A = this chain, B = another copy of it.
Amino acid sequence: MSTPTPSQRASAWLAQFGKALAANDLKAIPGMFAPECYWRDLVAFTWNVRTQEGREAIQQMLASQLPQVKPSNFALAGDATEADGIVDAWFNFETATARGYGHLRLKGSDQGDQAWTLLTTMTELKGFEEHKGENRPKGAEHGVHPGRKTWLEKRQEEQANLGFTEQPYTVIIGGGQGGIMLAARLRRLGVPTIVIERNERPGDSWRKRYKSLCLHDPVWYDHLPYLPFPDDWPVFAPKDKIGDWLESYVKIMEINYWGSTTAKKASFDEAKGEWSVTVERDGKEIVLRPKQLVFALGVSGYANVPKIPGAETFLGDQHHSSKHPGPEKYKGKKAVVLGSNNSAHDICAALWEQGVDVTMIQRTSTHIAPSESLMELALGGLYSEQAVKNGIDHHKADLIFASVPYKIMHTFHIPVYEEMKKRDADLYGRLEKAGFMLDFGDDGSGLFMKYLRRGSGYYIDVGASELVANGSIKLKSGVTIERINPNSVTLSDGTELPADLIVYATGYGSMNQFIADLVSPEVADRVGKVWGLGSNTTKDPGPWEGELRNMWKPTKQPQLWIHGGNLHQSRHYSQFLSLQLKARYEGLPTPVYGQADVHHVR
Q: Which residues from chain B contact A245 at a C-beta distance below 8 Å? A: 252
Known: A131-B232, A132-B231, A230-B226. A144 touches B238 (CB 8 A): no
Q: Which stretch of A10-18, A212-220, A532-540 is in the interface?
A: A212-220
Q: How far is the CA of A143 from the CA of B463 in the complex (A)?
A: 4
Q: Is A302 an interface residue (CB 8 A)?
A: no
Residue in B closest to A245 when the chains form the complex, CB atoms: B252
Q: Is A371 an interface residue (CB 8 A)?
A: yes
Known: A145-B353, A355-B146. A138 touches B467 (CB 8 A): no
Known: A151-B241, A244-B251. A140 touches B236 (CB 8 A): yes
Q: How far is the CB of A187 from chain B (nearest CB, A)?
A: 9
Q: How far is the CA of A391 from the CA of B145 in the complex (A)?
A: 36
Most chain B C-beta atoms within 10 Å of own C-beta, residue among A143, A188, A215: A143
Is A235 touching B137 in the complex (CB atoms < 8 A)? yes
Q: How far is the CA of A226 from the CA of B227 in the complex (A)?
A: 11
Residue in B closest to A237 when the chains form the complex, CB atoms: B139
Contact residues of A between 322 and 347, Cβ < 8 Å to B: none
Q: Is A136 an interface residue (CB 8 A)?
A: yes
Q: Which residues from chain B contact A422 at a C-beta distance below 8 Å? A: none
Q: How far is the CA of A151 from the CA of B353 in the complex (A)?
A: 16
Q: How far is the CA of A235 from the CA of B354 in the complex (A)?
A: 52
Known: A234-B137, A252-B230. A354 touches B150 (CB 8 A): no
Neighbour of A139 across the interface among B188, B215, B353, CB < 8 A: B215
Residue in B closest to A136 when the chains form the complex, CB atoms: B232
Q: Is A41 an interface residue (CB 8 A)?
A: no
Q: How far is the CB of A227 from chain B (nearest CB, A)?
A: 5
Q: Which residues from chain B contact A466 at a C-beta distance below 8 Å? A: 143-144
Looking at chain A's contact residues, is the secondary structure mostly helix, strand, loop, or mixed? loop
Interface residue range, chain A: 35 or more
Q: How far is the CA of A188 from the CA of B148 in the complex (A)?
A: 41
Q: Which residues from chain B contact A231 at a C-beta distance below 8 Å? A: 132-133, 136, 226
Is B214 touching A140 in the complex (CB atoms < 8 A)? yes
Q: How far is the CB of A349 from chain B (nearest CB, A)?
A: 6
Q: How far is the CA of A472 from the CA of B236 in the complex (A)?
A: 59
Q: Which residues from chain B contact A371 at a C-beta distance below 8 Å? A: 142
Q: Is A462 an interface residue (CB 8 A)?
A: yes
Neighbour of A144 across the interface among B139, B151, B233, B353, CB < 8 A: B353
Q: Which residues from chain B contact A248 at a C-beta distance below 8 Å? A: 248, 251-252
Residue in B closest to A252 when the chains form the complex, CB atoms: B248
Residue in B closest to A156 when the chains form the complex, CB atoms: B240
Q: How far is the CA of A145 from the CA of B212 in the complex (A)?
A: 11
Q: Is A107 an interface residue (CB 8 A)?
A: no
Residue in B closest to A349 when the chains form the complex, CB atoms: B144
Q: Is A271 an interface residue (CB 8 A)?
A: no
Is A353 touching B131 in the complex (CB atoms < 8 A)? no
Q: How far is the CB of A491 from chain B (nearest CB, A)?
A: 26
Contact residues of A between 435 and 479, Cβ < 8 Å to B: 462-464, 466-467, 472
Q: Is A385 an interface residue (CB 8 A)?
A: yes
Is A142 touching B463 in the complex (CB atoms < 8 A)? yes
Neighbour of A150 across the interface among B134, B143, B146, B212, CB < 8 A: B212
Known: A244-B252, A463-B142, A466-B144. A136 touches B233 (CB 8 A): yes
Q: Is A363 an interface residue (CB 8 A)?
A: no
Q: How far is the CB of A543 from chain B (nearest CB, A)?
A: 39
Additional A-B contacts beyond A136-B233, A152-B238 (12; CB < 8 A):
A132-B231, A133-B231, A134-B385, A136-B231, A138-B234, A138-B236, A140-B462, A144-B352, A151-B241, A152-B241, A230-B253, A248-B248
Q: Point out residues on A near B: beta carbons under 8 Å.
A: 130-134, 136-140, 142-148, 150-152, 155, 188, 211-212, 214-215, 219, 226-227, 230-238, 240-241, 244-245, 248, 251-253, 349, 352-355, 371-372, 385-386, 462-464, 466-467, 472
Q: Could you name 9 residue pairs across A and B whose Cβ atoms are closer than 8 Å? A: A132-B232, A134-B385, A137-B232, A138-B234, A139-B215, A140-B236, A144-B353, A152-B241, A230-B253
